[in-house]
């Protein structure tokens, strides 16, 4: 029997259990891969398990389903020895949107001068790390040119829950903040599902595009197992009803080979903001 491939994922929502039950079943029954799943409460703990040495008394996993920040942390902390395996089609082309009340006093980035910007959890690439970074590139420095109101409601989940983005939107609507930074997927949800009164918010700025999640392999994972896992992902088809239920739950239509070009901005921002410091020895 082949060696078990241990895959890690973060339980940011109860649906994660259902998603990974489906993924495990697909791997066993169709791809014939002995995959088992470990759920973590934070990405820090998951990256720790991905990079754990054999002698360490901590969980060990072979592959992690990482956010963009967790992928970059694994890459940096492994000396660039971890390997990117696959990503979702929907992980390409994310953007950060800055939104404000329609008809209010904020219509451009310049209007944020000496105003309050709501940001999501401090470890959210799209709702905190990158907004601060991109604004710096526009000559606007947090604490000097604008005040930040942060909602650290899901720290450890890297913004996956969306809770902090909900808080950002609420703060903008009720006037506690003059504008707010959210990810483009959540902005699309706000508009498509009418989560705020029609026309109540408007986009005043959009960032350059960047990439989001990435399956990441530990440095010493057997290359054949890595390739088998990647091939199993790429073999999932949206027109297969069984596959579609899993893909829909995870928010994609097809898995893609890694596109590493969309991580440069976050790598620079995370380094500047201290996210590559090894702040934990255990989790």
Asked if residue 186 lies in contact with residue 98, where contact means CB atoms within 8 angstroms, the answer is no
- Its pTM stands at 0.95
In the chain, what is the greatest distance between 2 CA atoms, to the nearest angstrom?
65
Asked if residue 1 lies in contact with residue 12, where contact means CB atoms within 8 angstroms, the answer is no
Say if residue 200's pLDDT is above 60.
Answer: yes
pLDDT tens across 164-196, in order? 999 999 999 999 999 999 999 999 999 999 999
Predicted local distance difference test score (pLDDT) of residue 281: 43
Mean pLDDT score of the chain: 95
The C-alpha angle 90, 67, 36, rounded to 5 degrees, equals: 95
Say if residue 283's pLDDT is above 60.
Answer: no
* CATH superfamily to which 5-91+211-272 belongs: Periplasmic binding protein-like II (3.40.190.10)
User: How do strand 63-66 and strand 5-10 relate by DSSP bridges?
Assistant: parallel
Instruction: Give the Å distances, CA to CA, from 35 to 7, 39, 115, 123, 274.
Output: 7, 13, 50, 29, 34
pLDDT tens across 88-142, in order? 999 999 999 999 999 999 999 999 999 999 999 999 999 999 999 999 999 999 9
Residues comprising the chain, all counted: 283
Angstrom distance (rounded) from CA 190 to CA 197 = 10
Asked if residue 24 lies in contact with residue 63, where contact means CB atoms within 8 angstroms, the answer is no
**Comparison of pLDDT for 158 and 278, the residue scoring more:** 158
- Any idea where the domains of the chain sit in the sequence? 5-91+211-272, 96-206
**Nearest C-alpha neighbor of 15 from the set 44, 39, 35, 34:** 39
**Nearest C-alpha neighbor of 181 from the set 211, 196, 159:** 159
Quick check: helix, strand or coil at residue 157? coil
Alpha helices for the chain (secondary structure H): 15-29, 43-51, 68-77, 130-137, 163-173, 184-192, 223-234, 241-250, 264-272
Predicted local distance difference test score (pLDDT) of residue 2: 65
Number of neighbours of residue 80 by Cβ within 10 angstroms: 10
Common-topology check for domains 5-91+211-272 and 96-206: yes
Predicted local distance difference test score (pLDDT) of residue 274: 96
Angstrom distance (rounded) from CA 260 to CA 255 = 15
CATH fold for the domain made of 96-206: D-Maltodextrin-Binding Protein; domain 2 (3.40.190)
């Amino acid at each position: 029997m082949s060696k078990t491939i241990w895959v890690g994922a973060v339980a940011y929502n109860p649906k994660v259990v259902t998603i990974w039950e489906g993924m495990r079943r697909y791997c066993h029954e169709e791809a014939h891969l002995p995959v088992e799943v470990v759920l973590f409460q934070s990405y820090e703990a998951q990256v720790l398990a991905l990079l754990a040495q054999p002698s360490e008394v901590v969980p060990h996993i072979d592959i992690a389903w990482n956010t963009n920040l967790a992928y970059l942390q694994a890459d940096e902390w492994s000396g660039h020895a971890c390997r990117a395996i696959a990503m979702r089609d929907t992980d390409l082309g994310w953007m950060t949107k800055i939104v404000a009340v329609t008809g209010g006093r904020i219509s451009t980035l310049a209007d944020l001068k000496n105003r309050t910007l709501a940001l999501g959890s401090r470890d959210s690439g799209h709702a905190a790390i990158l907004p601060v970074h991109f604004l710096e590139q526009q000559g606007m420095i947090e604490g000097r040119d604008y005040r930040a109101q942060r909602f650290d409601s899901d720290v450890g989940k890297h913004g996956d829950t969306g809770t902090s983005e909900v808080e950002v939107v609420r703060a903008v609507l009720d006037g506690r903040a003059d504008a707010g930074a959210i990810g483009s997927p959540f902005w699309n949800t706000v508009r498509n599902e009418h989560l705020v009164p029609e026309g109540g918010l408007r986009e005043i700025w959009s960032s350059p595009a960047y990439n989001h999640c990435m399956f990441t392999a530990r440095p010493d994972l057997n290359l054949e197992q890595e390739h088998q896992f990647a091939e199993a992902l790429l073999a999932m088809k949206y027109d297969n009803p069984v596959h579609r239920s899993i893909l829909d739950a995870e928010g994609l239509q097809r898995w893609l080979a890694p596109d590493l070009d969309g991580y440069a901005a976050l790598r620079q921002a995370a380094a500047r903001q201290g996210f590559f410091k090894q702040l934990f020895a255990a989790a």
